[in-house]
Amino acid sequence: MTSERSRAQYLRRANVRFVLTLLPAVLCVILTSLGLWPWAAVVFCVTLVVIVVGTLVPRCSLFGPLVKRQLSGSKAPLLTIDDGPHPEHTPAILDILDRHGLKAIFCLIGDRAEQYPHLVHEIIRRGHEIANHTQTHPAASFWTLTPARMWDEIARCQETLTRIAPEHPPRWFRPPAGHHNAFCVLTARAIGLETLMWTARGFDGTLTNTDSIIRRIRRKLTPDGIVLIHEGTPVCVEVTEKVAQMLTGYAAERIPS
């Protein structure tokens, strides 16, 4: 569980970083007031590109270290499943994973875990791992959160999941949609979490053609890769079945008998 002292220490560091992110804006104002419009435009454009790329590109490590792959020497991709638990999908997905002998990391939303704590226990009972996916999953606005609100989202989820399963506290954090601003990784590390990304995804959160989703995942599949799929979509159970088949076959093809 996180302490007030940890939060205070984090906020001091995060607020310093926040002030530093405002310096380019101050510089633009100064340059403009001096009539140096071209230089102000350059500073503005460079700053905008850095912020957009660093925030919205999931695998960009500009704002802090990310776990993008498994350790070298891995023989099969790791499956991660976001946005649960779900009262219908989680049990069905667990059954699919059992049939194929696969283990996964379930990135859980705190509010949903509070609604379905028995599913959190069932995930763990079947040998899978749980991870922190924020308390409310503010996907559209997560990248805009201030240091205090960022802490609230991640720390509350950590407290929720640890309260439900005290013997299995999360060690990973997965930001909604992979968006991470200048405070995200800093916040996760202050709470004791590493930020977990992915190498292969099929955009199953928006697409509904399972063949297209699977093709996208297969193109990026590597032995040390991390696969991302979601619960709560119209095709999530079908996608899980096809991904499970693919991962089982992938391992069988590459692990010598």
Q: Name the residues annotated as catalytic.
A: 82, 230
The neighbour count for residue 77, using CB atoms within 10 Å, is 25
Give yes or no for a cis peptide into 176 (omega within 30° of 0). no
- Three-state DSSP state, 148: helix
Residues in the chain: 257
Extract the tokens encoding 160: 């929720």
212/232 Cα distance (integer angstroms): 18
Q: For every residue of 6-61, which 3-state class applies, written as one string? A: HHHHHHHHHHHHHHHHHHHHHHHHHHHHCCCHHHHHHHHHHHHHHHHHHHHCCCCC
Residue among 225, 228, 237 at smallest CA distance from 201: 228
∠ Cα 46 49 52 (to 5°): 150
Q: Rg of the Cα trace of the chain? A: 20
